[in-house]
Amino acid sequence: MITYNSTAKGRLSSFGSNLFLGAILFFLLTDYALAIPVNTDFDLVKERVVAEYLTSEVNAEAIEELLISQNPDGTWPGINYQDVSRTGFEHYFHTGNMVTLAKAYRQPNSKYKGSPKVKQAVTDALAHWVENDYFCDNWWHNQIGTPNNLVAVMLLLGDELPEELVKAAQPIIGRAHLNASGARPSGDRIKIAGILAKNLLFLGEKEKFEAVLKVIEGEIKFSTGSRGLQRDFSFHHRVDRVNNTSSYGLGYADAFVEWLVYTADTRYAFSSDKVAILVDYYLDGISKNLAFGKYLEAGAKNRSIARPGALHGLDAKTPRKLLQATDYRKVDLEEIVKIREEGIYKVTLSYAKYFWQTEFFTFQRPDYFTSVRMFSTRNDNMEVPYNSEGLKNHHRGDGTNHLSITGKEYFDIFPVMDFQKIPGTTILQKERLPDPDQIQKPGYTDFVGAVTDDLYGSVAFDFISPHDPLKAKKSWFFFDKEYVCLGAGINAKGKQAVFTTLNHLLLQGEVYAKVGQETKILERGKHEFKDLDWIYHDRVGYFMLAPQEVELSFGEVTGNWTTINQQTRAPQEDVTKDVFSLWVNHGNNVRQASYAYLILPNAGLEETKAYQFNDQIEILSNTPALQAVRHKQLLQVQANFYKAGKLDLGDGLELTMDGPGLVLLHLDDQNIVKMAVSDPSRKLDKMHFQLNSKLNLKGNKQQVEWDAEHWISKVTVQLPEGEFAGSSVILGD
């Protein structure tokens, strides 16, 4: 029989034994843990980079075809290995095939995982490349394209490739370095630095890797007046100050976001202020250069419109990555994700945004998006047709005004497009466009700009064509349901006619016209009107606000990509599409011509029939000195003064400007409740004007002197200077 005391003694004895054994086990486990390599931040970043490569699906049929078709010397048929020109260099298919095979070799769910046959195919392809070291006439392939693919192969498969082959590839990958000719402060610098950083991960060089990441983070900055991110959140890739926000600027952001995610929660993580700049740029720069924050937009694109599929919709990958990395502006990022994943019918965005550093204006409402592209003495008109792309882009900065309701209105129209009928432009109709080397030109005028209160806005373009003997004052006035386009002082010399194009897009459905009291469906072909009320096509109504000769053409048009793109990868076959074109014909030898029309977006036919623009819109002035519109329902006046002058605002109110400038007024009877002003010329530090109303607006940007005897408010507004010159000053609530 066991007594209490003996039991207690046994328990104590057992506890002591367990304690001793536990101590031994602790020291054994500690020694074992110390023997296991620690997964450092450096290793973690490398794992994340490799994991990103493996997110794409492996196409088994494509892998099998690459294996079967590969030649004994490691090449593939169908690639021209002799042509290393700027328009050729099909060699990127070769290095791209290597990456595809390497992914199949490493992908856990791939049937080719660890396949000796796949590894041998990559080995043969790499051996061929390092033996020949193909060098393109276009630096981009040498410093970005080829190194980027080769470093991917290294990270995916390099440890299993022959050592001498890996060493031989290093000088080729090494052309991506911070002193390379292409590593200029812009999107390409970040891409090159990113390739270098990945190679350092592969080589295990931690100190150099950390130094390169500091360079990458340091490039998240404003570079107004030079290459890179501008204060208005547009992006300049070159010193010509052409809008590159949705081309190079998109790659700039994606490269940062890539490393933001790779380095999150590690010693290499980006600082919060850099992350905030990146998010602001993505939302207020890139996304506001896109139709509905999703579709690449024709007005924002340059030579890349010569590539099939250039105006595709973006996926939600990048904004989702930003949401993983930060909570900053979370709601706005979630809105972009929702639009891209669920469709534009989910859009709730409304804004007016002017990129004053780039002469580009965008306007979004839940059911439509539109833009205006211009140039000035500060910005060249268009990108150079580098690498023989965009060969007819001469007039694509001449006050271009694209309109999107679905985001697909202009998708791949460009091989059949008439590049002298670009939406919004006023162009002298030449027999042929000048040579492509004449595309890029500086502007002749500085009165180019916009005024916005962030929700509404007007745009003014003192336009002098750099290609033709043509001048015009062009303005756009943007409201909620409609916008108004005015032109005045149109002068041109020569026998060729001058056209102002309302729209030039893909034909969708029937075309209706109201002439006099008659509304009818039009037949395909060309039509001319002298007393046209409106045209209706594809949920858009085009209203004529003044007598003018209007011409319309719609039907099949045949063209070819090679007329605008001489890259060897450009499709060679003819393309036929249905196209809709609507324009005002000003005739030839034009003197003081004008135009006035209104666009009613996303309207049904019955809504268009019922719309009475006189109930909504009043044109207050359309002269070379002043263009102004009053919206009767919104109680709003937008006025573009090209010089000092006086404007009757209605209801007994008068505005007197002491000099040029743009003004947006919100009215309440005889009171001004809110206003915005800007100086497109950027010559003034202050703007002076008078109103015959007692002005009492909040804000510290203005001084108001009330002259009770003459019942006049004398107003002085302090204008933005330096890198903010040309932006708007908003006064009031």
Please write the tens of the pLDDT for every residue from 82-134: 999 999 999 999 999 999 999 999 999 999 999 999 999 999 999 999 999 99
pLDDT at residue 82, as a whole number: 96
Q: Which residues contact 169 (CB under 8 A, 6 or more apart)?
A: 126, 129, 130, 150, 153, 154
- Once rounded to an integer, what is the mean pLDDT over residues 534-545? 98
pLDDT at residue 650, as a whole number: 87
pLDDT above 90 as % of the chain: 88
pLDDT at residue 698, as a whole number: 78
Task: For the chain, report the end-to-end CA distance as a whole number of angstroms.
Answer: 93
pLDDT at residue 30, as a whole number: 42
Residues 372/485, Cβ–Cβ less than 8 Å: no
Residues 189/183, Cβ–Cβ less than 8 Å: yes
Arithmetic mean of pLDDT over the chain: 93
pLDDT-based confidence at 16, cuts 50/70/90? very low
**pTM, two decimal places:** 0.91
Residue 271 pLDDT greater than 90, yes or no: yes
- Which residue bears the tokens 């979370």? 330
The amino acid present at 7, given as its one-letter code, is T
Residue 7 pLDDT greater than 60, yes or no: no
Q: What would you report as the CA-atom Rg of the chain, rounded to the nearest whole angstrom? A: 31
Residue 37 pLDDT greater than 60, yes or no: no
State how far the Cα of 726 lies from the Cα of 716, in Å rounded to an integer.
17
Query: Alpha helix locations (H) across 36-115?
Result: 41-53, 60-69, 92-106
- DSSP class per residue in 570-605: S--SEEEEEEEEEEEE--SS--SEEEEEEEEES--H
Please write the tens of the pLDDT for every residue from 151-178: 999 999 999 999 999 999 999 999 999 9
426-428 β-sheet, strand order: 426-428, 498-506, 574-585, 550-560, 525-529
pLDDT at residue 6, as a whole number: 33
State how far the Cα of 726 lies from the Cα of 685, in Å rounded to an integer.
11
- Once rounded to an integer, what is the mean pLDDT over residues 411-416? 98
pLDDT-based confidence at 546, cuts 50/70/90? very high
- Once rounded to an integer, what is the mean pLDDT over residues 705-722? 93
State how far the Cα of 164 lies from the Cα of 17, in Å rounded to an integer.
58
CA 199 from centre of chain: 30
pLDDT-based confidence at 9, cuts 50/70/90? very low
Residue 282 pLDDT greater than 80, yes or no: yes
Residue 653 pLDDT greater than 60, yes or no: yes
Residues 395/417, Cβ–Cβ less than 8 Å: no
Three-class SS state of 495: coil
pLDDT at residue 656, as a whole number: 97
Query: From the CB of residue 598, how many other CB atoms can be counted at a distance below 10 Å?
Result: 23
Q: Which residues contact 564 (CB under 8 A, 6 or more apart)?
A: 305, 306, 389, 390, 391, 392, 414, 415
Residue 344 pLDDT greater than 90, yes or no: no
